Structure 1
Amino acid sequence: MKKRITYEAIRQYAAASKDMADIHLDIEIANRAGFKRPIVHGMYIMGLAQSLYMIEHPTKWITSYDMKFQKPLLVDSEITFVYKGSFGVIQVSVTDDVGEVIASGTLSVKERLQ
């Protein structure tokens, strides 16, 4: 599943999470840190991975998760989430718009109780 991470989404996430660090919101600060644009919050990526999985698998419930970040993601990038597995432990891989892995991990899932 593909998703474009917009400046507006990151501004909304920053306000909701109260993580207003300039590296996520300010182009000049991001430039000084060596990035072309602000970088996306890692927790936003992890939360999005869980939300998108739940949308595609509405009968499943995530009981735990683990994600490791390999590289920063720039705001206004398109990312792809790939989920492998059908029950129990689901492998998730997140790649940027040039195909580089930015994060990977696992979701532990079970059937949702009715």
Structure 2
Amino acid sequence: MQRFCLMLDLKDDPALIAEYERWHAQGNGWPDVRANDLKAGIQDLQIYRTGNRMVMILETDDQFTFEKKRDLDAKSPHVQEWERLMWTYQQALPWAEEGQKWVLMDQIFQFERAE
């Protein structure tokens, strides 16, 4: 298993943030998008929010790569439509590269277990 943390901002508008959360409420996701994520090797996906900042945690199988995910996404009209819709609510982080949405975070600490 692999774990990745990514970050993205929402537009700082309470109405848009509420609508974004409704799209992500249980039962409101698009089945084709979920199926595409599973095909890419994503086993679990969680999004947390504070204010307009979001963190996404991906747990994937060992064969997952962001290149594989990007290629699968590009071939799926439903994923492309979902991404266009979500961009209505999202905005790039100030340090994101041109066209980049979710930015991969670097792990800087892990709790050390006493043996």
Q: TM-score, normalised by structure 2?
A: 0.24
Higher RCO, 1 vs 2 (CA within 8 Å, ≥6 residues apart): 2
The answer to which structure has the higher strand fraction is 1
Q: TM-score, normalised by structure 1?
A: 0.25
